[in-house]
Amino acid sequence: MMEGTKDPVEAGGSASASPPVDPGPTGRAERAARRKAFAGRYALLPLRLFLGVTFVYAGLDKLADSHYLAGRNDPLSFYAQTVAAKAGSPIGWALEPALHAPTFFGLLIAFGELAVGLGTLFGLLGRVAALGGTLLSLTLFLTISWNVSPYYLGNDLPYLMAWTALLLAGTPYLSVDGYLARRAERDRQRGLTESAVLRRTVLDGGIAAVALGGGGLLAGSLTATFVRRKPKPAAAAGSTAPAQGAAKVSVAVADVPVGGSATVKDPSSGDAVYVVQPTAGQYCGLSSVCTHAGCTVDPPKNGQLSCPCHGSRFDASTGAVLNGPAVKPLPKYTVTKDGDRLDLGAVQS
Ligand code: FES
């Protein structure tokens, strides 16, 4: 060591007293390039985690929902939702088989989502999982979200685009696919023949797939058996009159123009209700909660209420469904005129 210089290791705690060593322009450029390469390599990881978790959750949620496979008499069932989607979809004809075997197709979709989610999370056959996600999202876009206007309010199109990115990139990092690919490379360098490398990769990939598939089946079956939610009771006509003693909910007549609405709150549920005047002198209240999946429908416009989530449309004078995927009308409330006030009454239907 040159006299007068200090070895940083020897210097120990006193190293902080020395001025930091400038790596120079080349060193800084290398570090920046390394950081960029690192960020680029893991750029799709947040998207992959989101899609994986969401699809696992969506699959398990369907299996835990007692309405999902309840059959044609339940408006929240897979069957009823498929009937509604078929009516307004450009690929309605392709949904016909699902109506003949709704239980099979309902389970296929739920377990398919689970498999896609797990494959994506673990990065096992990542491109195959992304292809599954792409096809599922494309189907949902062409059926459930097809009537959403404007198109960017529907959520299946963004999912479709997100899956396409993963389909192109695959899951080469922090994944089973990546591990198998790196091991295959090491095997080649060790001098294994290409067929031996392939055999080892297929065998271990197959074992991982069977283990993950078995885990998914077990998780799905346990969810369907033990985590099943109780069915929501159907609202009976006239059964939700405001509770005794509840404050009267009213709105000024002047606030409800013909074709327009004013928003009040149902004192029993806390949900927003649109008090509407579809034709001069005719008043009623319509729940703002979409009967498809609970989004808030927009206030009436041009005689209709539209749901921004999947495009259901409802008649502004009756609450009847004009366009699915909702199959049940919006709950309708009586509204009585009392001088210059309009009082919200009970749910009629
Ligand atoms: S159409 Fe799906 S929540 Fe309204």
Q: Say if residue 343's pLDDT is above 90.
A: no
Count of domains for the chain: 2
List residues bridging with 305 in a β-sheet.
314
**165 and 259 share a domain?**
no
List residues bridging with 273 in a β-sheet.
264, 287
Percent of the chain that is helix, strand, coil (3-state, to 5): 50, 15, 40
- Residues of the chain with pLDDT > 90, as a percent, come to 41
> What is the reported pLDDT for 326?
82
Atom of ligand 1 nearest to the CA of 308: 4
**257 and 288 share a domain?**
yes
> What is the reported pLDDT for 269?
76
Of the candidates 133, 131, 138, the one whose C-alpha atom is nearest the C-alpha of residue 90 is 138
> What is the reported pLDDT for 3?
39
> What is the reported pLDDT for 18?
66
Least confident of 50-64, 236-250, 318-332: 236-250
- Chain length of the chain: 349
Question: Does the Cβ of 84 fall within 6 Å of ligand 1?
Answer: no
Q: Say if residue 30's pLDDT is above 70.
A: yes
Give the mutation target among 81, 292, 321 for probing the ligand 1 site: most ligand atoms within 8 A of CB: 292
Protein residue with its CA nearest to atom 2 in ligand 1: 310
Atom of ligand 1 nearest to the CA of 297: 4
Peptide bond into 150 cis (omega under 30): yes
Question: Does the Cβ of 313 fall within 6 Å of ligand 1?
Answer: no
What's the 101 CA to ligand 1 centre distance in angstroms?
24
- Residue 106's Cβ-count burial label (10 Å; 0-12, 13-18, 19+) is buried
* Mean pLDDT, all residues of the chain: 84
Angle at 87 between CA 233 and CA 94, to 5 degrees: 110
Listed ranges 143-157, 169-183, 312-326; the one with the highest mean pLDDT: 169-183
Domain that holds residue 101: 40-227
Q: Rounded distance, CA 180 to CA 168, Å?
A: 19
**214 and 101 share a domain?**
yes
Among residues 227, 258, 285, the one where a domain terminates is 227
**Can you give the CATH number for the domain in which 334 is found?**
2.102.10.10
What's the 337 CA to ligand 1 centre distance in angstroms?
31
Q: What is the token pair recorded at 251?
A: 């709105």
Q: Say if residue 215's pLDDT is above 60.
A: yes
- Tell me if 102 is assigned to some domain: yes
Question: Does the Cβ of 307 fall within 6 Å of ligand 1?
Answer: yes
Contact partners, residue 349, CB within 8 Å, separation at least 6: 237, 319, 329, 331, 332
> What is the reported pLDDT for 85?
79
Give the mutation target among 147, 153, 155, 290 for probing the ligand 1 site: most ligand atoms within 8 A of CB: 290
CB burial readout 110-139, b (16+ within 10 A) else e: bbbbbbbbbbbbbbbbbebbbbbbbebbbb
Q: Rounded distance, CA 254 to CA 273, Å?
A: 17
> What is the reported pLDDT for 5?
41
**73 and 127 share a domain?**
yes
Between 342 and 137, the more confident residue is 137
**169 and 283 share a domain?**
no
Protein residue with its CA nearest to atom 1 in ligand 1: 310
**71 and 214 share a domain?**
yes
Q: Model confidence over 54-77: pLDDT tens digits?
A: 999 999 999 998 888 887 777 678
Question: Does the Cβ of 326 fall within 6 Å of ligand 1?
Answer: yes
Question: Does the Cβ of 328 fall within 6 Å of ligand 1?
Answer: no
Q: Which helix (H) or strand (E) holds 3?
A: none
Between 62 and 260, the more confident residue is 62
Among residues 193, 227, 261, the one where a domain terminates is 227
- Tell me if 15 is assigned to some domain: no
**188 and 53 share a domain?**
yes
Among residues 177, 192, 227, the one where a domain terminates is 227
> 343 with 249: CB under 8 angstroms?
yes
**51 and 96 share a domain?**
yes
Cα distances from 17 to residues 3, 11, 21, 319, in angstroms, run 18, 9, 12, 76
- Tell me if 328 is assigned to some domain: yes
Between 311 and 315, the more confident residue is 315
Of the candidates 349, 341, 348, the one whose C-alpha atom is nearest the C-alpha of residue 264 is 341
Q: Rounded distance, CA 74 to CA 66, Å?
A: 10
**193 and 293 share a domain?**
no
**159 and 290 share a domain?**
no
Question: Does the Cβ of 312 fall within 6 Å of ligand 1?
Answer: yes
Q: Say if residue 216's pLDDT is above 90.
A: yes
Between 197 and 74, the more confident residue is 197
**262 and 306 share a domain?**
yes
Q: Model confidence over 114-156: pLDDT tens digits?
A: 999 999 999 999 999 999 999 999 999 998 888 777 788 778 9
Give the mutation target among 312, 322, 323, 328 for probing the ligand 1 site: most ligand atoms within 8 A of CB: 312
**76 and 222 share a domain?**
yes
Q: Say if residue 107's pLDDT is above 50.
A: yes
- Tell me if 35 is assigned to some domain: no
